[in-house]
Each structure stands twice: as C-alpha cells, then as structure tokens.
Chains A and B, each alone.
Chain A
Amino acid sequence: MKLILEITHHADEQTAHRVVETFPVTLGRGYHNDIIISDPHVGASHLRIDYDGKDWTLTDLGSVNPTKVNAKPYRNVTTRLSSGDVLRVGGTELRVFAAEHPVAPPAPLQRESAALPWLTRTRNVWALFVLAVAAVTGWSYVGIWTDNMGLALTAAASGAMITIVIWAALWSVGGRLARRRSYFMGHVALGSLGLIFGALAWLTSCYIGFLSSENGFSVATDYALNGAVMAWLLYASLSLATRLTRRKRLQAALFFAGGLMLGIFTVGMISSEKFSADALYPYRLEPFLSGLAPAQTPDEFMARSAKLFKSDEFEQPGKTKE
C-alpha cells in the first residue's frame, strides 16, 4: 500500500512529497538509501520503514540523533506508524500519510487587493508622499508659533519624510522575511496615507470636540477615529507584508489598535483623577462651523451649571430675593 512522505527541508522549510510503493524503504544521508536527506544531523543510515500488508513500522537504525515520532524519541527500536504521524529526523520533519488520509477542504483563493497595483505605482506613491508631507507641514504652520517659521516648517517636513521612510523600511524588511517581497514603495504609500488619514481624523475630532464641548460623545469619537485609522493602517500593511489570512490580519490590527487606545484611555483616566489647582475647562476653539452649535440663553446655561453642585439645598437664582 502506498505511503506518502511529506518532507520539510531543514534549511529552507520547503516541503516535498515522496510516494513510496515498495517496502522496506531506507532513509538517511548516505547515497545508498532509498530516500536521501542532505541534513547534517541525519545519520548515514537513519531509519527503515516496513510494511507487513497491514501496518507500517519504523525502525531506528541507531544514529546519533534518535528518530522522534510525535515528539517521542526512539533509538534502535521498532514502532508502529499511523497516517498523520510527525517524524523528526535530525533537523528535518517528515509526516507520513496513507493515500486515503483526509485533507482539509480547500481554502478560498486569497484575492490580491485591487488597490495594490494602484498603490505601488510610482507616480501615485510620490503623490501620496508629497500630500502627506504637505499635510504635516500645513498642520505645523497652523499650530506652531515661533519667530523662525522657516526652520519650524523645514523640521516638520523632514520629520514627516523621515517617519514615512522609516515606517516603510521596517515593513519592507518584515515583508522580505515573511513573504520574500519587500513592497517598499507600497509601504511608503501606506505610511503616507496613514499620515493623511491621521490628519483628517485629527481635524474631525477637533471639530467634534469644539462643537460638542468635549463631552463623552466627542471623547468616544476621538478614540474611535484614531483607533480606526491605526487599525486600517496595520491591516493594510500586514496584507502587503505577510500571507496571513484576512481574518488573522483583521484580528491582529484590531487587537493592537484596540489595546493601544485602551492604554491611552487608562492613562488619561488616571491622570484626570489627579489633583489640579486650575480649572481645566474644554478650551478648543475652531474658526469655522460654530454656526452649527446650538446656543443657549444665559438662563438656560446657568440652570445647567446649577446641576454641578451636588447638594439639592441650592435655590435657583432669580426665584429667591434677598
């Protein structure tokens, strides 16, 4: 009966399949063997597999490194093999299968993202890169107040460039290791997009904070927006750099982004409990859209403010006269 050996090479982890139909079959580093394994940890004559018409048996031939079957060492002994067993011979892993050994249903084909060719096109990468650097520089122009604006803006622009390049370099090293493709330009595009989306998220949360006076809703949107940008960036970068399934990529991205947001939230909660002698009122001001915010009358505002006092003995102003 046919026995299929799945051999995973010790060095490059490439797998190959050998179909064995005549027994006994010998395995070792020596060239007299039926199956030759060029692994320095494998003995010249390492093992033999026999078939008695019913069962396969493995016999270790007493090499320096004993054969392991399902992680259990066997030296100079014979043991029965069943389909699916994992053998360890030196640094090489073998799995033995009967021809009728069941296999997992086929995984649906992972479609390459349609965005990938677009993202890796040089012209688009440069456009996104320039846009990201411009976004960071513009943000600095609005936000930084110094006498030497030229220096500040140069620092901001070069900071953005260096950040994107380092980001892309790290991911492409990762991609090289995990997938044998670095996609450097693709990661430059993703890093740039990350900065652009980050800037948009920041702008959105500024306005939501301004219009809603930094209430619970605006704080929640703040975390949601930043978390979403981060999760998207990780998901997209993982797609480019690894062969993980969509589900795994999504899990990793959400886990990391969610964890980071939770960490920031916890630190924020702890520091908000700290004593401060100053009144920390929400001070966000934005030049546009203030027309969207509903304005209260002074009386309505003071009635709301009265609720800050926890005790009920308070009397509404105006209702009582001295």
Chain B
Amino acid sequence: MRIFVLAFFSLLLLAPLSARAAHVLPPVTDEAQRIYQASGDAVYQVQDIDMASGKKSSIGSGFQFTADGLIATNYHVVATALRHPDSNRLEYLHNEGNKGNLRILAVDVVHDLAIVQMDKPGQMFLNLGQSNLAKGTRLFSLGNPHDIGFTIIEGTYNGLSNESFSDRIHFSGALNPGMSGGPVLSHDGRVVGINVSTAGNQISFLVPVEPLRALAEGLGKHGRDKNFAAHSEGEISRQLLESQQHNVDTLLSHKWESVPFGPLMVPGRIHEALKCWGVPMHQEKDPFRYNRSICATQDRLFLDEGFETGAYTYRYDYLTAKDNKMDVLRFYNFYEQQYSTPVDESSGREDDVTNYDCETKFVAVAERKWKTSFCIRQYKDYPEIYDMEFVMAMVGQGREGMIVSLDAQGLSKKNALVLAKKFMSEIKARDPAQSNKPQPPVKAKKS
C-alpha cells in the first residue's frame, strides 16, 4: 500500500489509524526528540493542488537536502502534477505555515524518487548519508501522516528487502499514508532512506539514499532543466527501458528452477523477487479437480494514478474431471471458462495504453498441442514500452486441461518475445521414470 492518500480519505482514516498507531509504536526515547528538534525544520508537506478547486487533492512529504532549496520526495507524490500539468500543480507547506510553489527538476520512476525546487529556499537542509547499516540500527522517519501534523516515528533497519528487483530497505516502523517522501535519519541526523510504502502493521519500506544522491548528481552534471516537466517522457522511457533490461538480464542470468505441476515440468520460483503460492480451486462436491499455482513479483512501479508497471506474474492451472462425474463436453466448457479469465486485473487506462493486440496459433510444446496467444499493448507516452500477456491452453488431452499464462509489464519489444520464448522452452514433459503420477491401469482383455 502506498503511503499516499487523497486528502479526503486521510480525514476518514484519521481516527482509527491514530488509535492503532498509539498501540503499536515503540516507546519514544529522548533521542527522537533531539532529532526532531535538530532536523524537523527541513521536512515539508508536499501538496498536489487541483487547479480547478484550488484545494489539495493529495499529500505527501519531502525534505530539503541542499542549501539552494532542492526537496526530495517520491515520484508517486509528484506524478499527477508531472503528467497532468494543465490541471494539477505542486506546493510545499512548512511546519510554521510557510508555503510556496515547487518545480519538478528530475524523477526516477524505478526507485520512486523525485527532486523538486522550492521557489524560496528554506533555512535548513539535511545531509545525505549512506544506507549500509547494521541490522537493528535505530532509525527515525519524519513526515506528515494523514495530514495530522509533522511527526517523527522510531523504527529499526532490517536490511534490504528481497521482494523487489530494485533495492528497498525493510524498515520496522509504522509508516502511514501522507508520509511518502519523508526522510529517514540515523543517529547522526543524516538521511539514510526515503519513506515509500508499507505492507501494514510495522512492515514498511524505504528507498535507500544512494539512488537519490545519484539523481541529484545527475542534476548537477547537465545543469538544472527548469522545463523538465514538459519533456519528462523521454527520460522516464529511458529509465523504464533500462530497468526492464536489468530485470530480464537478471532473470535470464541463471538456470530456472523446474518444478513438477500436473503432467509437466514448469518454471518454479525463478527469482527471489517473486513469491509463489499454490491454491486448490475446487471443493469436495465439485466434479473436477482444479489446482492453481501462481508466482508474482511483489513490487510495482507507479507511473500514474491507476497505471502501474513492472509486475511479472505467471500462473499454472491444472484441471481434470473426476472419474465419471463429468463428460468431456461439460469439462471443456468449464475449462474454456477458466481459460477466458485474464491473469491479472490489468491496470492502465485509455490515456495510458493501447488495446492489446494478439497473435493466436496452435503450438507444439512438451509433446502436446497448445492453443497459444501472445498479446501486447503499447504505452502511449512511452512508445518503446509494452505490456505482454502470454497464454497457453493444452488441448486434445481428453478430460485434462492445463493453462499456462505469463503476464509481464513494461518490457521492450525484444524482451517481451525473449521472455515468452524462454518460458515456452522451460515447459517440458515429465520424465516418465521420475513421474510420481500413477500409471493408468492396463486394461485386461476379456477373452
């Protein structure tokens, strides 16, 4: 869950969340007080202003990290203003009530970072440190949760999370909506990370400070581009291409785990950024057996409200009719219904992506025939980037069906094809010697 909410919802959520926070927070030490007094003035609320009503439509946090008024925050806090400059703009609001306009200078969609320029620099700024810490190190997160007011939260550093292709710090502390983009400081008051998301309770995630430093250094190199917002597509497109290339290279750099599923050997958990589950899809009374295994990346790249990318999901469905309970016509009807259900609830709206375009043919894989569809859609603002959906349904095996589907977002043309092909090549017939499936009984001929 992104810790970034519409102002409206923050008011609704205010009461129950604050009650829970009081219950779960570790006791606040004097050190937090010292850090807040020393650094709190460098923290700002970043507001997305809806120009039609003049009111804030969503909020996040940010912090000043240079003397000349650069504020770091999350990309997802500034995304609406960046992508819809005609209807939304950004403002900062200080603890003491100072406010002013913000101009976007750089974004990093892969790490969910943005650098914005204040129209009048504040007095105080934070120094960037480094995120290579020992597990258990006490950290202090600052921000403005739910628009309640500026807050400091104590928590611990729990190493890098392996749930993502890009680095994320696992922070044990209660981040809440509205704190997105706020700084996380170590004892010495230096920034080690930036608040980004929470998985509920005390499980939260931070962006390490290093990509922010790289983004800031990139700014210095080329001179500040005041018109960045007007032509951000090229840069975001470049970042997405680079990121997907890194992901696909990572996936293809090692041998894939092969696991038995139904009558076949299929790719298992091919990278630690993915999580896999097995789910039985039938009940006792059903005339069929239906098992599903699903592997998915946990992290998505936020591009715009309702438009995320970077998720890889693959799913295996194995269906058989229970003996004598279902004839082949009924079985196939049920099988077809399951096959027609898409893998994932797709994100993306008409402004963001084209319709999917599909190629469908019968393909011979693992000694069986599969009805196979390869579908792609293009990103309208980043035309080199595609979403891919690849689906195969085994046919001609009587009352036995298997659906293999792979949904991968934000790929280049080449990598979409490479990944689909690699996936097909990893689906293999089980070696009959190793198969633990009972052999069909040999029918004795009646004489």
A residues sitting closer than 8 Å to B (CB atoms) are 141-143, 145, 210, 213-214, 275-288, 290-291, 293-299, 301-302, 304-309, 311, 313-315, 317-318, 320, 322
The interface residues of chain A, by DSSP majority, are classed as loop
**B333 near A294: Cβ-Cβ < 8 Å:** no
| A-contact bits for B381-422, CB 8 A (1 contact / 0 none) | 000001001010101101001000000000001100110110
What are the 7 tightest A-B residue pairs by CB atom distance, in nearest-first order?
A281-B373, A283-B340, A279-B375, A279-B356, A275-B350, A213-B360, A305-B374
> 9 new A-B pairs (CB below 8 Å) besides A285-B401, A286-B395, A290-B371?
A210-B371, A281-B391, A285-B339, A290-B369, A294-B362, A296-B363, A298-B365, A314-B414, A317-B417
Q: A281-B389, A305-B374 are in contact. Are A287 and B362 (CB under 8 A)?
A: no
B residues sitting closer than 8 Å to A (CB atoms) are 249, 328-337, 339-340, 342, 346-350, 353, 355-365, 369, 371-377, 386, 389, 391, 393, 395-396, 398, 401, 413-414, 417-418, 420-421, 424-425
**A277 near B360: Cβ-Cβ < 8 Å:** no
A280 to B339, CA, bound (A): 11
Q: Which residues does chain B contribute within 8 Å of A299, judged by CB atoms?
A: 421
**A302 near B421: Cβ-Cβ < 8 Å:** yes
Q: B336 contacts which of A283, A296, A302, A309 (Cβ < 8 Å)?
A: A283
**A285 near B395: Cβ-Cβ < 8 Å:** yes
**A282 near B373: Cβ-Cβ < 8 Å:** yes
A70 to B337, CA, bound (A): 67
**A295 near B362: Cβ-Cβ < 8 Å:** yes
Q: Which residues does chain B contribute within 8 Å of A281, judged by CB atoms?
A: 356, 358, 360, 373, 375, 389, 391
A184 to B425, CA, bound (A): 63
Question: How near does chain B come to A31, taking the closest CB pair, in angstroms?
Answer: 77
**B420 near A302: Cβ-Cβ < 8 Å:** yes
A304 to B376, CA, bound (A): 13
A280 to B340, CA, bound (A): 8
**B347 near A296: Cβ-Cβ < 8 Å:** no
Residue of B nearest to A273 (CB): B355
Question: How near does chain A come to B57, taking the closest CB pair, in angstroms?
Answer: 23
A277 to B386, CA, bound (A): 13
Q: A283-B339, A290-B395 are in contact. Are A297 and B363 (CB under 8 A)?
A: yes
Question: How near does chain A come to B253, taking the closest CB pair, in angstroms?
Answer: 10
Instruction: List 22 contacting pairs A-B, 8 Å CB cutoff, sorted by A.
Output: A214-B360, A279-B342, A279-B356, A281-B389, A282-B360, A282-B373, A285-B395, A285-B401, A288-B328, A290-B396, A291-B369, A293-B362, A299-B421, A301-B361, A302-B420, A304-B361, A305-B374, A306-B413, A307-B359, A311-B413, A315-B414, A317-B421
**B332 near A305: Cβ-Cβ < 8 Å:** no
**B356 near A280: Cβ-Cβ < 8 Å:** yes
Q: B363 contacts which of A143, A275, A301, A322 (Cβ < 8 Å)?
A: A301
Question: How near does chain A come to B337, taking the closest CB pair, in angstroms?
Answer: 7
A247 to B358, CA, bound (A): 44
**B335 near A285: Cβ-Cβ < 8 Å:** yes
Q: Which residues does chain B contribute within 8 Å of A284, judged by CB atoms?
A: 336
Q: Which residues does chain A contribute within 8 Å of B333, judged by CB atoms?
A: 142-143, 145
Q: Which residues does chain B contribute within 8 Å of A288, judged by CB atoms?
A: 328
Q: A298-B425, A304-B361 are in contact. Are A277 and B349 (CB under 8 A)?
A: yes
Q: A295-B369, A298-B424 are in contact. Are A279 and B389 (CB under 8 A)?
A: yes
**A302 near B361: Cβ-Cβ < 8 Å:** no
Q: B353 contacts which of A145, A277, A317 (Cβ < 8 Å)?
A: A277
**B332 near A285: Cβ-Cβ < 8 Å:** yes
Q: Which residues does chain A contribute within 8 Å of B349, judged by CB atoms?
A: 275, 277
Q: A294-B362, A304-B361 are in contact. Are A278 and B346 (CB under 8 A)?
A: yes
Residue of A nearest to B327 (CB): A142
A317 to B414, CA, bound (A): 7
Residue of B nearest to A144 (CB): B333
**B355 near A304: Cβ-Cβ < 8 Å:** no
Q: Which residues does chain B contribute within 8 Å of A294, judged by CB atoms?
A: 362
Q: A141-B330, A279-B358, A308-B376 are in contact. Are A285 and B417 (CB under 8 A)?
A: no
Residue of A nearest to B343 (CB): A279
Q: Which residues does chain A contribute within 8 Å of B342, judged by CB atoms?
A: 278-279
A222 to B245, CA, bound (A): 43
Question: How near does chain B come to A213, taking the closest CB pair, in angstroms?
Answer: 4
A143 to B327, CA, bound (A): 12
Q: Which residues does chain B contribute within 8 Å of A302, judged by CB atoms?
A: 374, 417, 420-421
Q: A142-B329, A277-B348 are in contact. Are A282 and B358 (CB under 8 A)?
A: yes
Residue of B nearest to A303 (CB): B417
Question: How near does chain B come to A273, taking the closest CB pair, in angstroms?
Answer: 9
**B347 near A285: Cβ-Cβ < 8 Å:** no
A305 to B393, CA, bound (A): 17
A142 to B329, CA, bound (A): 6
Q: A278 contacts which of B329, B356, B365, B393 (Cβ < 8 Å)?
A: B356
A151 to B334, CA, bound (A): 19
**B417 near A306: Cβ-Cβ < 8 Å:** yes
Q: A285 contacts which of B330, B374, B393 (Cβ < 8 Å)?
A: B393
A322 to B374, CA, bound (A): 23
A23 to B334, CA, bound (A): 86
Question: How near does chain A come to B20, taking the closest CB pair, in angstroms?
Answer: 34
**B359 near A308: Cβ-Cβ < 8 Å:** yes
Q: B334 contacts which of A145, A280, A291 (Cβ < 8 Å)?
A: A145
